[in-house]
Amino acid sequence: MKASLKTTVMKSSLALAAAVAMSVGSQSAQANNLLGIDVSSYQGSPNWTSVAGCGPKYAFVKATEGNYYQDSVYNSDMSNGKAAGLQMGAYDFCRPDQISPATEANYFWAFAGSKITTDGKSLYPMADFEVFGGHVGATTYTAWFNAWSADVKAKKTTFMHPVIYCSAGTGACDLNTGITLSAWIANYNGGNLYTGHPWTCCTSCNAWGPGTGNNWTYWQVSSTGAICGISGNVDLDAYPLSLSELIAYQGL
């Protein structure tokens, strides 16, 4: 995601980043968690055929930010990623400090919605929670994101259950047990992408399984991974079940 989150979670050392990148190829055969990535125009225009050949089974693509930015590669990334065989999701970099949830949800869907379809290749959308400083039109951050989610879900008759991306510390600690979105937790804790999990700290902030390491849907493991078909660093993510279960439980 954007640099703001990278100051709120534990960062991998260069050695760890290299080990994670190496594990993409070496451990896929015995994997438990499922490898994915998330990208934006920061990564340019990936070669999605190469990406798919390197191990990721799903990817999330930035669509919008607030009600003022539309990512230039969103449409091509969604189409080309699906064509290469990946499950693809869209995300909104949310600005609760500036914009009401309904305004932001409407802006996100107007731009991103045409690629979030019942094609067997689309994943539930994600709200990216990295900006603080207020929650316009809601009493809490939890209420703001619940309203965003409800507005997005109302855009389709097909069932959707959006996820929320946040740090295991700042971010998760700003939510409470009333949150209705599933958990995508960023924690660069040095854990193995294929066998680890995000809740190695901050379990008091785990609104989905208070005081435990349970109840996570995605885990952002590193922001400095290396994937074929993408120049430079890329975020590496884990899903705790199989590809068929990802499609069954997170797909449209």
Q: Burial-class residue 120 by CB neighbours within 10 Å (0-12, 13-18, 19+).
A: exposed
Residues 6+ apart with CB under 8 A from 28: 35, 55, 194
Which residue ranges form the domains of the chain, and what is each CATH number?
3-250 (3.20.20.80)
Of 202 and 31, more confident: 202
As given in the structure block, the two tokens for residue 100 are 């009401």
Task: Reply yes or no on whether the pLDDT at 206 is more than 50.
Answer: yes
pLDDT by residue (tens digit) across 219-246?
Answer: 999 999 999 999 999 999 999 999 999 9
Q: pLDDT at position 30, please?
A: 40
Task: Reply yes or no on whether the pLDDT at 10 is more than 60.
Answer: no
Residues 6+ apart with CB under 8 A from 13: none
Query: Which residue's structure tokens are 């609104």?
Result: 207
CA gyration radius for the chain? 17
pLDDT by residue (tens digit) across 31-90?
Answer: 599 999 999 999 999 999 999 999 999 999 999 999 999 999 999 999 999 999 999 999
Q: pLDDT at position 247, please?
A: 98
As given in the structure block, the two tokens for residue 243 are 């590809």
Phi-psi group of 172: left, alpha or beta (phi > 0 → left; psi -120 to 50 → alpha; rest → beta): alpha
Task: Reply yes or no on whether the pLDDT at 15 is more than 60.
Answer: no
Task: Reply yes or no on whether the pLDDT at 203 is more than 70.
Answer: yes
Q: Burial-class residue 108 by CB neighbours within 10 Å (0-12, 13-18, 19+).
A: buried
Q: How far is Cα 81 from Cα 78, in angstroms, rounded to an integer?
A: 5
Average pLDDT over residues 181-200: 97
Q: How far is Cα 89 from Cα 94, in angstroms, rounded to an integer?
A: 16
Q: pLDDT at position 31, please?
A: 56
Q: pLDDT at position 250, please?
A: 98
Task: Reply yes or no on whether the pLDDT at 12 is more than 80.
Answer: no
Task: Reply yes or no on whether the pLDDT at 162 is more than 80.
Answer: yes
Task: Reply yes or no on whether the pLDDT at 22 is more than 90.
Answer: no
Average pLDDT over residues 165-182: 97
